[in-house]
């Protein structure tokens, strides 16, 4: 098994999820009323651009500032980067005041609401590099069949394994689990007094991977149907419940950790289900922990994982949308996305960068492999509140009833999906 302790910082910029704005409207299948103009008539002016980001830290902020400064020097258009303290709140204030940033990080949970109320301009189909983005990411930022905005980067979930504990338990590369049964077996082998075999957060953002492996999800792929109470989802949560109950799986909070990375770093868990942002946390806080990364085991329906992403949102009120489009193409180019990866670690959102990224990060290849089958978070208006309630129920999964939980989620979903 490959060992490594020195890895590049992978910040949370790829998944910096902000709280959704409260927007009263229907779900992803809403009527076109406040949406963006489908034409390619972009505004144009000599105005400077403002770019608002929700940064993971100094490395990300500096990298974005450097890239935009380089574009400004090349294009002759001035641009300023604003690192938001609370991105959701500051965007809302900008839109309410009629002076939003021209370009900004936009999360999947805010997407449909901003399209519906006319705040964002759909421009995805105008991009010269539109066919280079991973199809699953394009789907994440498509509303009513329209590609709204360019995915800026992304993350997936994988199985992170403590190699020292793995080898001490007598396990080898041949034992890396590829099925649910194998995962349960090695988790049992790795469980000792004071340490569980596998840990993860008590949230859909982690358990959703098991649901995907069983063939389930919360909302249909086209966003028009609530499917939370499916037999597949019941099977997935029952599998997790059984191993929470036998003590070989655990929620991070139940073993004294704030998240999976902390549980892993403190060796409270020998394995965790986490995204590629864990590598930055381990490098900063637990540099001596040795680990390897594998794809998540397949479930009854095959492979499954979750992906997390933001896009570059364009304001409908921007007076210089032509320049914004040019800037987005620059920021999402192969060379620039690889430079961002080098600086603060996200996986590029374009397929043309995959080979170079994997060559530079061979120990993290399992995260990229997950892009072939990852599912994204639902984007329906009101979904954030539904998932928040679901997560609260999941905290008691070890003693709860998966069927009842999912029936409750189904009821809540039906109120926002296609409503």
pLDDT in tens, 291-319: 999 999 999 999 999 999 999 999 999 99
Mean model confidence pLDDT for the chain: 90
Tokens of 216: 């389930």
pLDDT of residue 5: 32
pLDDT of residue 55: 86
| Helical H segments across 145-222, by residue range | 163-168, 180-190, 204-213
In this prediction, residue 411 has a pLDDT band, given cuts at 50, 70 and 90, of very high
How is 250-273 classified by DSSP, letter by letter? EEGGGGT-SSHHHHHHTTSEEEEE
pLDDT of residue 56: 81
Give 197-245 pLDDT, tens digit per residue: 999 999 999 999 999 999 999 999 888 999 999 999 999 999 999 999 9
CA distance 196 to 269: 5
Ranking 12-26, 131-145, 191-205, 401-415 by mean pLDDT, the lowest is 12-26
- Region 9-31: mean pLDDT is 34
Q: Answer whether residue 79 shows pLDDT above 90.
A: yes
CA distance 108 to 87: 14
This prediction has a pTM of 0.85
How is 331-375 classified by DSSP, letter by letter? HTSHHHHHHHHHHH-PBPSBGGGHHHHHHH-GGGHHHHHGGGTEE
Total count of residues recorded for the chain: 419
The full set of domain ranges for the chain reads 12-155+307-376, 157-306+382-414
Q: Answer whether residue 250 shows pLDDT above 80.
A: yes
Give 342-388 pLDDT, tens digit per residue: 998 899 999 999 999 999 999 999 999 999 999 999 999 999 999 99
The two domains 12-155+307-376 and 157-306+382-414 share their CATH topology (first three levels equal): yes
Q: Is the Cβ–Cβ distance between 345 and 363 less than 8 Å?
A: no
How are beta strands 249-251 and 150-162 bridged, if at all? unpaired
- In DSSP terms, which residues pair with 312 in a beta bridge? 105, 150
pLDDT of residue 25: 32
Q: Is the Cβ–Cβ distance between 261 and 155 less than 8 Å?
A: no
pLDDT of residue 280: 84
Question: In which region does residue 377 sit, left (phi positive, over 0), alpha (psi from -120 to 50) or beta (all else)?
Answer: beta
Q: Answer whether residue 26 shows pLDDT above 70.
A: no
pLDDT of residue 30: 31
Q: Is the Cβ–Cβ distance between 35 and 122 less than 8 Å?
A: yes
Higher pLDDT, 215 or 38: 215
Tokens of 235: 């099977």
Higher pLDDT, 11 or 253: 253
CA distance 3 to 363: 9
pLDDT of residue 215: 98
Q: Answer whether residue 2 shows pLDDT above 70.
A: no
**Shortest CA distance to 89 belongs to which of 110, 66, 120?**
110
For residue 289, give every residue at least 6 positions away whose Cβ sits within 8 Å of its Cβ, in sequence order, or none: 5, 162, 164, 264, 265, 267, 282
For residue 269, give every residue at least 6 positions away whose Cβ sits within 8 Å of its Cβ, in sequence order, or none: 195, 196, 197, 198, 199, 250, 252, 255, 257, 260, 263
Q: Is the Cβ–Cβ distance between 273 and 159 less than 8 Å?
A: yes
CA distance 53 to 61: 8
Select the CATH number that applies to the domain covering 157-306+382-414 from these four: 3.40.50.300, 3.20.20.140, 3.40.190.10, 3.40.50.720: 3.40.190.10
pLDDT of residue 185: 98
Q: Estimate the share of the chain in helix, then strand, then coil, as percent rounded to the nearest 5.
A: 45, 20, 35
Q: Answer whether residue 419 shows pLDDT above 70.
A: no
CA distance 250 to 264: 12
Q: Answer whether residue 27 shows pLDDT above 80.
A: no
CA distance 214 to 410: 17
Higher pLDDT, 21 or 126: 126
pLDDT of residue 57: 81
- The CATH class of 12-155+307-376 is alpha beta
pLDDT of residue 40: 61
For residue 160, give every residue at least 6 positions away whose Cβ sits within 8 Å of its Cβ, in sequence order, or none: 260, 264, 271, 272, 273, 274, 278, 291, 292, 293
């Amino acid at each position: 098994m490959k060992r490594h302790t020195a890895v590049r910082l992978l910040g949370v910029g790829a998944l910096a999820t902000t709280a959704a704005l409260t927007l009263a409207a229907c779900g992803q299948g809403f009527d076109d009323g406040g949406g963006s103009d489908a034409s390619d008539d972009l505004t144009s002016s000599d105005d400077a651009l403002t770019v608002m980001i929700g940064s993971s830290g100094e490395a990300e902020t500096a990298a974005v500032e450097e890239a935009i400064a380089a574009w400004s020097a090349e294009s002759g258009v001035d641009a300023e980067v604003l690192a938001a303290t609370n991105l959701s709140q500051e965007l809302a204030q900008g839109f309410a005041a009629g002076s939003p940033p021209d370009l900004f990080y936009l999360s999947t949970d805010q997407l449909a609401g901003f399209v519906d109320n006319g705040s964002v301009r759909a421009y995805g189909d105008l991009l010269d590099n539109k066919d280079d983005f991973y199809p699953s990411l394009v789907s994440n930022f498509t509303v009513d069949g329209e590609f709204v905005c360019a995915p800026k980067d992304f993350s997936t979930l994988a199985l992170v394994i403590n190699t020292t504990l793995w080898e001490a338990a007598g396990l080898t590369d041949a034992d890396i689990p590829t099925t649910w049964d194998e995962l349960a077996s090695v988790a049992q082998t790795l469980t000792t007094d004071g340490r569980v075999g596998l840990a993860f957060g008590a949230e859909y953002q982690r358990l959703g991977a098991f649901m995907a492996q069983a063939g389930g999800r919360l909302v249909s792929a086209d966003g028009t149907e609530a499917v939370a109470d499916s037999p597949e989802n019941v099977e997935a949560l029952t599998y997790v419940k059984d191993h929470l109950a036998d003590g070989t799986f655990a929620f991070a909070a139940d073993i004294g950790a704030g998240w999976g990375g902390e549980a892993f770093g403190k060796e409270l868990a020998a394995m965790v289900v986490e995204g590629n942002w864990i590598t930055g946390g381990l490098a900063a806080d637990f540099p001596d922990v040795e680990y390897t990364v594998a794809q998540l085991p397949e479930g009854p329906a095959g492979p499954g994982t979750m992906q997390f992403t933001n896009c570059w949102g364009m304001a409908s009120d921007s007076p210089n949308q032509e320049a914004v489009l040019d800037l987005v193409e620059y920021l999402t180019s192969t060379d620039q996305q690889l430079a961002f990866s080098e600086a603060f670690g996200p996986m590029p959102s374009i397929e043309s960068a995959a080979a170079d990224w994997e060559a530079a990060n061979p120990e993290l290849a399992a995260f990229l492999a997950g892009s072939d089958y990852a599912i994204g978070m639902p984007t329906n208006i009101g979904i954030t509140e539904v998932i928040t309630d679901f997560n609260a129920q999941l905290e008691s999964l070890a003693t709860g009833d998966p069927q009842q939980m999912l029936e409750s989620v189904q009821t809540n979903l039906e109120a926002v999906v296609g409503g």
